[in-house]
Amino acid sequence: MILAGRLLLPDDADGVELAAGTVELDGDTIAAVNVGDTTTQADAGGPDALICPAFTDTHLHLPQFDQVGAHVTPLLRWLQDVTFPNERRWENTGFARGMAERVVGQLLSVGTSGVAAYATVHAEGTRAALEVFTQRGFRGVIGQTLIDREAPDYLCRPADQLLDETAALLDKFSPGQRMSAAVTPRFAITCTAPLLEGAGRLAAERHAAVQSHLAETVAECDFVGELFGGKRYVDVYRDAGLLRPGSLWGHGIHLDDADRVTLRGHDAVVAHCPTANSFLRSGSMPWREHHAADVAVSLGSDIGGGYERSMVRVARAMIETAAARGDAYPTAAQAWRQITAGNAELLPGPDGGVLLPGATADVLVIEPDVPWLDHPDPLAMLLWAWDDRWLERTVVRGEVGYAAG
């Protein structure tokens, strides 16, 4: 397959640049990237098309796709009243598998082929989701959410059982595979210290990815303080051995300089979820402070606390959130970099998010209906005028996973 248009390529800083050319796919791999070649007969694209690496979403909840818009704030109430009853549905593995299949279709239709996702506490539902995402060529991790307290009985399990189940998932979906299991303690409130410590040991033994939530709301931080004898929230995870290089910490809003030093010192990543933070009124992540402290920041939709599936619109919310704080904020080029190579590099597992010979053929063909190439800042126009109907096709591992029309 040959795709032609403006290629979205990483620049030497932290942005992207556009170059006219073609991308040649051979099976599941990019065989060649021909900058300057505008003459070749192409299978898709054209002079005004954008050829872009597929997007990566570094924080989302698969079972929550049907609860978007359910608005019972604040977070801890929303979990008890909306989210936990909803996640119970995954005790039926057939339901979980069907929902995972539907979610895959929804993600491909907005150009996402890489995920760091949460399933539920149900091991079999998590396994089904991993099978579905593997089969559809996705890249990334899915985790069984570990819960042994502060949730309804129907979602709590003994710590040993949860750790055995996640270990069994890691046997089959081991790190390094295109889709692997992640060690996923839901957050410190729903996990006893032995469960957190067991999760930290398991991640170390298996070199497994870790993901969880951190400092999303003030009430949550206060409750963690009560549950763990006044310890700092970040230190609870650090002391359990969970603050591992590349570990993904959802939200990371209510943190101070000392917390940033701890996160940076452990090469941990904050998964910024701006749409969820505004929807649940949790606060706004200090993008400038995290960047100034050299804390790695990825971007996630956090469906269904977040309401927006499209990573382009989540990137837009990232800019608006930072700007509303009166801070320095990311440029459009940085936003495009974030949802492609930036997020892909921070996703556990194989790399993606780049148009390079030898890379996996996860590529989008985008055909804007606006004269974006005449705009003084074409990438800004694409971002702010974005319309999902511009997505002509999503190619995953060389196969057309979604086609418009």
Please report whether residue 250 would count as binding Zn ion according to CB under 5 A. yes
Please report whether residue 302 would count as binding ligand GUN according to CB under 6 A. yes
Residue 90 carries which DSSP code? G
The only residue of 97, 139, 186, 337 in contact with ligand GUN, by rule CB under 6 A: 186
Q: Mask of contacts with ligand GUN, 192-231, x by CB under 6 A?
A: ---------------------x--x---------------
Q: Say how far apart CA 332 and CA 320 lie, in whole Å.
A: 11
User: CA–CA distance from 283 to each of 119, 223, 286 (Å)?
Assistant: 25, 17, 9
Q: Which is nearer to ligand GUN, 302 or 392 (CB)?
A: 302
Q: Which is nearer to ligand GUN, 75 or 116 (CB)?
A: 75
From 20-28, 75-83, 147-155, 227-235, give the range in contact with ligand GUN by CB under 6 A. Answer: 75-83
The least CB distance from residue 216 to ligand GUN, in Å, is 5
From 66-74, 97-105, 227-235, 301-309, give the range in contact with Zn ion by CB under 5 A. Answer: 301-309
Please report whether residue 84 would count as binding ligand GUN according to CB under 6 A. no
Q: Say how far apart CA 100 and CA 13 lie, in whole Å.
A: 37
Please report whether residue 25 would count as binding ligand GUN according to CB under 6 A. no
Please report whether residue 83 would count as binding ligand GUN according to CB under 6 A. yes
Please report whether residue 253 would count as binding ligand GUN according to CB under 6 A. no
Q: Which is nearer to Zn ion, 234 or 365 (CB)?
A: 234
What is the maximum alpha-carbon separation in the chain?
A: 67
The least CB distance from residue 337 to Zn ion, in Å, is 23
- Helices 159-172 + 193-206 axis angle, to 10: 20
Contact 200, 242 (CB under 8 A): yes
Q: What are phi and psi of 363, to 5 degrees?
A: -140, 145
What are the structure tokens assigned to 338, written together? 């974030």
Q: Which is nearer to ligand GUN, 83 or 338 (CB)?
A: 83
Name the residue among 320, 318, 358 with its Cα closest to residue 337. 318
Residue 81 carries which DSSP code? I
The least CB distance from residue 373 to ligand GUN, in Å, is 38
Site for ligand GUN in 350-379 (CB under 6 A): none
From 126-134, 263-271, 296-304, 316-324, give the range in contact with Zn ion by CB under 5 A. Answer: 296-304
Coil vs helix vs strand at 332: helix
The least CB distance from residue 87 to ligand GUN, in Å, is 8
Q: Which is nearer to Zn ion, 250 or 352 (CB)?
A: 250
Q: Say how far apart CA 224 and CA 220 lie, in whole Å.
A: 6
Contact 298, 343 (CB under 8 A): yes
402: partner contacted, choices Zn ion, ligand GUN, none (Cβ within 5-8 A by kind): none
HSE-up (13 A, CA, CB side) for residue 176: 5
User: CA–CA distance from 106 to each of 67, 111, 173, 180 (Å)?
Assistant: 14, 9, 23, 21
Q: Which is nearer to ligand GUN, 79 or 383 (CB)?
A: 79
User: CA–CA distance from 395 to each of 191, 242, 344 (Å)?
Assistant: 39, 35, 16
What are the structure tokens assigned to 160, written together? 């040993």
Please report whether residue 238 would count as binding ligand GUN according to CB under 6 A. no
Cα 193–Cα 195–Cα 200 angle in degrees, nearest 5? 95
Coil vs helix vs strand at 39: coil
79: partner contacted, choices Zn ion, ligand GUN, none (Cβ within 5-8 A by kind): ligand GUN
188: partner contacted, choices Zn ion, ligand GUN, none (Cβ within 5-8 A by kind): none
The least CB distance from residue 225 to ligand GUN, in Å, is 16
- For ligand GUN, how many residues bind (rule: CB under 6 A)? 11
Question: Site residues (CB under 5 A) for Zn ion?
Answer: 250, 302
Summarize as ranges the residues that interact with ligand GUN (CB under 6 A): 61, 75, 79, 83, 186-187, 213, 216, 276, 302, 305
